Amino acid sequence: MIKVGFIGAVSKEWMGGLNYFKNLLFAMDSLKSKEVEILVFVGKKTDIEIKSMFKGYAIVIENSIFDRGSLKWLFMKIEQRIFKTNFLLETILRKYGIQVLSHSSMTNFKNIKTINWIPDFQHIHLPQMFLADEIKSRDESFIKIIQESDIIVLSSYDALQDFKNFAPEHEKKARVLQFVSQPNKKYFELNGNDKNNILKKYEIKDEFFYMPNQFWKHKSHMMVFKAINELKKEGIELYLVCTGYLQDYRNTSYIEEIKDFIKNNNLKQNIKLLGLVDYEDVFALIKFSKVVINPSLFEGWSSTVEECKSVGKNMILSDLDVHKEQYPNATFFDRNNIESLKNILKNYQKENLDNTIETLEKRTKEFAQKYVKIVMELEND
């Protein structure tokens, strides 16, 4: 059996990353693989909810070297910066028999193989969303990870094509692992009382459209807000509920621009910004909405799209190639044409889709089996 380590230093601010790890660990736990054992390493100060999540699916090891600012962490960073090695960290990992470190973005181990994940190449497609220094930094870090890792995992074939263009000489290292999201088990049990409770809890109206995206500028909230505003001018009143972290560290003024747009156009009765909400409530909002919208200008492999696909909920999606790859049964609009979105919103009738792509259980099993196959490649390397 190969022991695989993950470092669970994931912030709640990046729910997509946190959900990615949760879904991979869930799939592996469900598979009950006799070939791979998963251990997750966290700091002693890691959020208790994150620790509990990991403990549900894997062995969790706590060590202060994973606490940012701790003495061990500082020594590790000094070693990495000056000597370009990871002896301190490797000593801890080897103590627990780790043979492969996965999805950590770390390299330079003497006796541990590495599988690293590149979520997307957004900065290549949307350079205007990044500072010049950030683009340079991403390029350099991607090249380093690609050169020094044994295997690079990508979440879509769309990202694989980007990888081939970005680092064609390392194409043989790339593997596509399309993750599968797990719905909350209560989703299918939600009833009319639950609907009334969620509407009351957040003071929202019935018959709402739902957009559960983080408030990053590339998620293109403004496209939907402008479409709703234009429809309002035509006498068509729509109601949109938004959840997600109300900040964008790259565009710090973005959330204020959004709030100003809503205020200046008298859209407070049409658009409700809830910010971060309980994860269980996200699935209730998905279920009781008319439809879920993702107007994003770029995605790697969207957690929102995957969650809706897993429960057969229809979506209105921007016409990205990766969206079409991920959820071909959805409704698509031209991401650069507000009229395209307006026409869909204006005429939309609520519907749920039969998930004819594959059953959730089958997709989850295949997800885990594909990951095991990737890990086992390293045993024979």
Inside any domain, residue 354? no
User: What is the C-alpha end-to-end distance of the chain, expressed in Å?
Assistant: 15
**Which residues, at least 6 apart from 264, have a Cβ–Cβ distance to it below 8 Å?**
none
Question: Could you list the residue range(s) of the whole structural domain that residue 191 is in?
Answer: 185-347
Q: Which carries the bigger pLDDT value, residue 230 or residue 47?
A: 230
Instruction: Tally the C-alpha atoms within 13 A of residue 51's C-alpha that lie toward its C-beta.
Output: 12
Does 215 fall in a domain?
yes
Number of domains forming the structure of the chain = 2
Amino acid at 22: K
Q: Is 143 in the same domain as 259?
A: no
**Residue 174 shares a structural domain with residue 235:** no
Within a domain: 352: no
| 341 and 204 belong to one structural domain | yes
Task: Read off the pLDDT of residues 110-135 as tens digits, 9 standing for 90 and up.
Answer: 999 999 999 999 999 999 888 899 99
Whether the predicted pLDDT of 355 surpasses 60: no
Over 70: is that where the pLDDT of 162 sits? yes
**Residue 14 pLDDT exceeds 70:** no
Residue 161 and residue 227 in one domain: no
Residue 254 located in a structural domain: yes
Q: How confident is the model over 53-111, as pLDDT tens digits?
A: 899 999 999 999 999 999 999 999 999 999 999 999 999 999 999 999 999 999 999 99
Q: What's the confidence (pLDDT) of residue 152?
A: 98
Residue at 262 is within a domain: yes
Note whether 164 and 201 are same-domain residues.
no
Tell me whether residue 356 is in a domain.
no
Same domain, 324 and 287: yes
Residue 355 is assigned to a structural domain of this protein? no
Q: Is 353 among the domain residues?
A: no
339 and 301 in a common domain: yes
Confidence grade of residue 183 (pLDDT, cut at 50, 70, 90): confident
Q: Based on the fold, state whether residues 7 and 147 are members of the same structural domain.
A: yes
Given a cut of 60, whether residue 356 has pLDDT beyond it is no
CATH number for the domain spanning 280: value is 3.40.50.2000
Tell me the CA distances in angstroms from 346 to 91, 224, 230, 235, 353, one per residue in order: 60, 12, 11, 11, 20
Based on the domain organization, do 190 and 172 belong to the same domain?
no
User: Are 72 and 218 members of one domain?
Assistant: no
230 and 327 together in one domain: yes
Share of the chain above pLDDT 90, in %: 77
372 & 250 share domain: no
pLDDT one-digit tens code per residue, 299-334: 989 888 998 998 889 999 999 999 999 999 899 999
Strand bridging mode 100-102 / 271-273: unpaired
